[in-house]
Amino acid sequence: MLRFRLKMSGWNAWDSSTLWSLALIALTIMIHAVGVVLIVLTLERFRARLAPVGRLLLVSSLVAIGLIVGVAVTLVVLHGIECVAWAIVYVKLGALPSPADALLYSVDSMTTRGSAGLYLERQWRMMGALESGDGMLLFGVSTASLFYLMQRLWKSEAL
């Protein structure tokens, strides 16, 4: 288990916590970016297969609903993977005692809900706040992706 002790006073009190958080933020944004690109590439392949059938099928209600649900579920899976990454680090650092607690805390922080009743060890508390900021960014990317998909479907444009 990785353990770091910091003097908890002054502006340098959160150095290790901040460095771990920045690394995790970079990792989770990379995971999300790769996931969104793969979603777009998959939608492009889907569009290419449906092109001979015609655009009408592509924007039919059932196809549109299926695409939106499929993309949303895929984005949820990405968020889950990102929460697991944070949880693994929390356990390895000794910030939380068990993987189950770490995952619950991570989901709670990532969604900015913040009421799981769990607390990080003192020197790692800044990580929870920074994970919340990461969650806002990631959910913003997910929302933008879904909004873009819906706009294209509702404007009857090809994907």
Report the pLDDT value the prediction gives residue 3, as an integer from 0 to 100.
55
* Domain residue extents for the chain: 65-159
Give the domain 65-159 fold: Helix Hairpins (1.10.287)
Instruction: Output the DSSP codes for the chain.
Output: --------SSGGGGHHHHHHHHHHHHHHHHHHHHHHHHHHHHHHHHHHHHTTT-HHHHTSHHHHHHHHHHHHHHHHHHHHHHHHHHHHHHHHHTSSS-HHHHHHHHHHHHTT---SS----GGGHHHHHHHHHHHHHHHHHHHHHHHHHHHHHHTT---
pTM for this prediction = 0.83
Predicted pLDDT of residue 59: 57
Residue 53 has pLDDT above 70, yes or no: no
Instruction: Give the model's pLDDT for residue 145.
Output: 95
Mean per-residue pLDDT over the chain, rounded: 86
Between 158 and 47, the more confident residue is: 47
Q: Pick the residue with more confidence: 59 or 116?
A: 116
- Predicted local distance difference test score (pLDDT) of residue 157: 54
- Please check the confidence at residue 11 and state whether its pLDDT lies above 90: no
